A and B are shown apart, each in its own frame.
Chain A
């Protein structure tokens, strides 16, 4: 079918991905308890699929909330400033917040989000990301749980898109260069 033909190679196959998500679930289970329960903050749209699988492995009491953000475009990329389209429903003051992200690239967006959330005085703030591209990092961000470090390639699938396509591939693939030519991830 069409979408899969645009993928140059499978970087992380479905079974490897699912096994790692289960491992991350166990690591998170070891970090929190019912009495110190986390509020998982999912950053839309990219992280919804990861969140859906990750949370089904959690054993302690926890809650889920969503943020949707949008960048202002190239002019503000270096600052990481984003527009918050949907803010959290819950007040996070005194809560143990665990941000769930699909991918950390330059780190600037995550840095902006964590600075924003920290002003709300959570009891703790940690980050769980499925993918990290360390070679792209422009600002130091602390990642508490990382699924996979990936090389600087154009990755899609499992929530990650290219102009809204490929999100539903059940694996992480690398897009063929001719598909994304002239675009930047």
Chain B
């Protein structure tokens, strides 16, 4: 496999991701066996590949909905403020909500999302996150299902981008530092 020039190395290969996604799906299926009205809330754009693979391995009935967010930034620095661009299509009150996110970094976005969704009084609210960078955390957020903890490097692929590039690589790669520093 030839890596794009901007990619330093493969951090998580396709098979490693697929195996972990299957494990997460099995755990979620077991936990929600008796839950009615399970809704997976995918966060655009980054989570669409993770969501597509995760949902296919779930053995429990569920609906899929999407949210689109945008974070305000000053230059490259996130201010922690988040803007909701598109809300879920269906009302989520009384549903068992599982937020599906690609990555948790500072935690600001997930924190905003959980607070926003909790205000709508779902029956339960959990988060399923593919990647977490604990070193970058600025606000504590609960992650109920986590794929992988990763070091503080810029990762791309499997939904994650760098300026909209490399988003659909089938693996997760570390970007060369000179690309983003």
Contacts and interface: CB of A to CB of B under 8 A. Distances in A.
Check if A and B associate: yes
B66 A52 contact: no
A86 B85 contact: yes
B83 interface: no
A1 B62 CA distance: 13
A71 to B, nearest CB: 12
B64 A167 contact: yes
Contacts, number: 78
B89 A85 contact: yes
Given A42-B48, A48-B64, 7 more contacts: A51-B52, A55-B49, A66-B68, A68-B66, A85-B86, A86-B85, A165-B61
Contacts of B22: none
Contact of A2 (B52, B53, B61, B64): B61
Contact of A48 (B51, B59, B85): B51
Given A48-B52, A85-B89, A66 B63 contact: no
A170 interface: yes
Interface in A49-75: 49, 51-53, 55-56, 58, 61-66, 68, 70
B170 interface: yes
B90 to A, nearest CB: 8
B112 to A, nearest CB: 18
Interface string A155-185: 0000000001101111000000000000000
B167 A49 contact: no
Contacts of B62: 168
Decide if the interface of chain A is mainly helix, strand, loop or mixed: mixed
A64 B167 contact: yes
Interface of A: 1-3, 42, 44-45, 48-49, 51-53, 55-56, 58, 61-66, 68, 70, 85-86, 89-90, 164-165, 167-170
B110 to A, nearest CB: 20
What secondary structure prevails in chain B residues at the interface with A? mixed
A134 to B, nearest CB: 27
Contacts of A89: 45
B44 interface: yes
Contact of A68 (B48, B51, B59, B89): B89
Contacts of A51: 48, 52
A55 B61 contact: no
25 contacts: A42-B48, A44-B66, A48-B42, A49-B52, A49-B56, A51-B52, A52-B53, A53-B52, A55-B167, A55-B168, A58-B168, A64-B167, A66-B44, A66-B48, A66-B68, A68-B89, A86-B44, A86-B68, A86-B85, A86-B86, A164-B64, A167-B55, A168-B56, A168-B64, A170-B56
